[in-house]
Amino acid sequence: MKWREDAVQEERREMAENLLIVRCGSLDEELSSAIALMLQFPTEELTRLLLTLSREELLERFGGSSN
């Protein structure tokens, strides 16, 4: 069942990437590198964070830097 867990994780990654592209206009290297940490959150919490936090807030919270 490892393949199924991998498929679910990949689907969550794609969802996060797509939400970030829609909200931020693009998916730069800083946001891309922060996604791995974001994916540690449950889906509901991750979705809430992606929909409510700004790019800068996401980078601050998940270890990126906006400068």
User: What is the chain's pLDDT, residue by residue, as a tens digit (67 residues)?
Assistant: 899 999 999 999 999 999 999 999 999 999 999 999 999 999 999 999 999 999 999 999 997 554 4
pTM of the model: 0.82
Q: Quick one: pLDDT at residue 64? A: 57
The answer as to whether 56 is a domain residue is: no
Q: Quick one: pLDDT at residue 1? A: 84
The answer as to whether 32 is a domain residue is: yes
With b meaning 16 or more CB within 10 Å and e meaning fewer, what string describes 21-40?
eeeeeeeeebbeebbeebee
The answer as to whether 17 is a domain residue is: yes
Q: Quick one: pLDDT at residue 22? A: 94
- State the residue range of the domain holding 39: 2-48
Number of domains in the chain: 1
The answer as to whether 16 is a domain residue is: yes
The answer as to whether 14 is a domain residue is: yes
